[in-house]
Amino acid sequence: MRLPLPFDLLAFAGSSGLILIYYLFLRLRTRRDPDFSVHRFNRKVRAAWVDMVAQSGKMDVLAVQTLRNSVMAANFMASTSVLLIIGTLNLSDRIEKWAGAWHPETAAASRAGELWLIKLGLLLLVFFIAFYCFTMAIRFFNHVGYMINLLAGLPEADISHAQVCTYLNRAGAYYSYGTRSFFFSLPLILWFFGPYPLILATIVLIAALYKLDRAP
C-alpha cells in the first residue's frame, strides 16, 4: 500500500506537535510543582556545589577536576556530533536504498527527491545543533573554571556567587540541549523508513523523556 506524500508530512507535523505538547505539559507541571523537574533540581545542585567550593576554600582541586570531567564529556559529545554529520553525508545515498529494501511499502512514499532532502536536511540540522550546544557547554565550563577559583581564593575579586551559578547552569543547560538533540535524531532517522516508524519512535521517546525529566 503506497501512502500519499502529504501523509509523510502530516506524520512529521504530528510528531512535532506531540513533542511540543509534552514540553508544554512539563512547563505547566513544573510551574505548579517546582520539585517535579529534574532540570530545576540539577540547577539547585549546581548552586549548592558552587556555594560549597566558595565557602570551603580547600576544594579547588576537586572543583578543577569536576569541571575537567565535564569539559571532557562535552568535548567527546561534540566530536561525536561531527562524526555523525560526516557519516550522515557519506551514507545519505545508501540509507534510501536500505529503507527501500527493508520496508518497500512504507518507504515508497518517501522517495520523492524533495522530501528526501528535507529529511536529510533536518537530520543534519539536529546534529549541527548538538555540536553547537556541546561547544557552548565547553565554553561556559571553561569560564566557570576561572571564576570558581577567584570566588574561592580571592573574595575581593568582582565575581559574585550568582554569576558563577549562572555560568555553570548555562553550561549544564547547553549540555542538556545537546543530549536532547541526539534523542530527537532517533525519530528523524526512523522517518527515512516511513511515517509510521516516526510516530511510534516519537511516542516511545516522549515516554522515555517523561521518566528522565522527573526529579529523583
Percent of the chain predicted with pLDDT > 70: 82
- On whether the pTM is more than 0.75, the answer is yes
Extract the residue ranges of the chain whose pLDDT is less than 50. 1-3, 107-111
Give the pLDDT confidence score for residue 109 in this predicted structure.
Answer: 41
Give the pLDDT confidence score for residue 34 in this predicted structure.
Answer: 82
What's the grid cell of residue 188? 528523524
What's the grid cell of residue 20? 511540543
Give the pLDDT confidence score for residue 184 in this predicted structure.
Answer: 94
Give the pLDDT confidence score for residue 150 in this predicted structure.
Answer: 76
Q: Domain extents for the chain?
A: 39-213
Give the pLDDT confidence score for residue 155 in this predicted structure.
Answer: 61
Query: What are the tens digits of pLDDT across the range 67-84?
Result: 899 999 999 999 999 999
